[in-house]
Chains A and B, each alone.
Chain A
Amino acid sequence: MSMHAVARRYATALVELTSEAGSLESVEKDLGTLARVLETTPELKSALNNPAFKVQERKAVLDQVLGKLGAHQHTRNFVFVLNDRNRLVAFDAILEAFSAQYDDRMGRVRAQITSAKPLDDASVETLRKHLQTITKAKSVVVGQTVDPNLIGGIVTRIGDLVLDGSVRTQLKLLRERLTAGDAVGEA
């Protein structure tokens, strides 16, 4: 079975369980926090995925980390199950599948905004509202990245939808039009 299929199965089980128990939001926050911790401490992530350490040893470490994070009991149990079954290596994929299902249930969409220069908060908020109107979502979660290669302007991606207002793309379109002979007549 592929990693994505495994991740979807674990994510679906977790969403259904925590929805019934009313702990869905807490678990979503806990998993997001744990993901950031693992991202910022690669040695911890490496140790948890290292088969040289016994399951009990890894569980003890996880217990301490989750305790310090104040994680919900359902979060702790789920992470321990992953550890027992040696599925922590699929944690990122499971979290991605879980977030997608959580967003669906909550009517939330995620937008990725890329700009040549950092945007001010007011512009981001304005854009977020426009995107919420366009997608008819209950809420829009915005992620931001800066890419100087855009030269200028903004590119926003929401799923398959791309709103491209970058200078780089404008130059690319100009090149295509000029090559095709739209802008310059044939001699």
Chain B
Amino acid sequence: MRRFLIITLTTTLALSLPALALAAGGANGPAKADYPGLLRHGINLLILIGVLYWALKGPLSDFLVFRSTEVRDQLNASLKAKEAAEAKYAELNARLENFETEITTLRNRVRADSENERSTLLSNAERAAASFEETAHRTVSEELRRARAELKAEAVELSVQIAEELLTQNINDDDQARLTGDYLNRVGETARS
């Protein structure tokens, strides 16, 4: 702030001195070479240049250093970008050169993967089919067994019913007497044992 005030005052003074000199000369007749005036102007100019140098030396130096660093960083970054681009270019170039080989490798890999997938699917399908077949066999066997058991039970029931009806209709007093005798013999054997 102080430096700004000094610069302002010095500049104003330097600019007002030639005007004062010109005003003083105008009252003395036609213009003549004014060497003292020129000297003063020269001194003023030198003072102005000195003040400007003194005032602007620091910021200008800082600016130039900053600018120099910035330019150097940008140059470095550009260098790195250039190197990266060159590397990428080299890689792409190399890949391009191996493109056919990569395509062949990729094709072989896809073919192998497809073959594996096909084998897996086939294997799973075969297992599922075997499981279905086994389940179907088991179900059929169970149904057969159940049907056989039901048929047998019905046949037994019918046979026993027929036997019961025949016995009820045909059993006579002699049969009853024989049954009674057998029963008494068995109870007698139990009593003796």
Chain A interface residues (CB < 8 Å from chain B): 115-117, 119, 123, 126-127, 130-131, 133-134, 151-154, 156, 163, 165, 167-168, 171, 174-175, 178-179, 181, 184, 186-187
Chain A, Cβ-Cβ closest to B182: A165
B160 adjacent to A152 (CB under 8 Å): no
What does the 1/0 interface line of B168-193 toward A look like (CB < 8 Å)? 10010101100110111011101110
> A126 vs B188: C-alpha distance in the bound complex, in angstroms?
9
Choose from A117, A154, A175 the contact partner of B183 (Cβ within 8 Å): A154
B86 at the interface (CB under 8 A from A): no
Q: Could you say which residues of chain B place their CB within 8 Å of the CB of A115? A: 180
B191 adjacent to A130 (CB under 8 Å): yes
> A123 vs B186: C-alpha distance in the bound complex, in angstroms?
13
Interface residues of chain B: helix, strand, loop or mixed (majority):
helix
Known contacts A130-B187, A134-B187, A179-B152; decide if A167 and B160 are in contact (CB<8 Å).
no
Chain A, Cβ-Cβ closest to B193: A134
A127 adjacent to B173 (CB under 8 Å): no
A165 adjacent to B191 (CB under 8 Å): no
> A171 vs B164: C-alpha distance in the bound complex, in angstroms?
7
B84 at the interface (CB under 8 A from A): no
Besides A133-B191, A171-B167, 6 other A-B contacts (C-beta < 8 A) = A151-B167, A151-B171, A152-B171, A171-B163, A178-B152, A186-B148
Q: Could you say which residues of chain B place their CB within 8 Å of the CB of A133? A: 191-192
B187 adjacent to A131 (CB under 8 Å): yes
Chain A proximity of B151: nearest CB distance (Å): 10
> A134 vs B184: C-alpha distance in the bound complex, in angstroms?
13
> A132 vs B192: C-alpha distance in the bound complex, in angstroms?
11
Choose from A117, A127, A130, A178 the contact partner of B176 (Cβ within 8 Å): A117
Choose from B153, B157, B179, B188 the contact partner of A152 (Cβ within 8 Å): B179
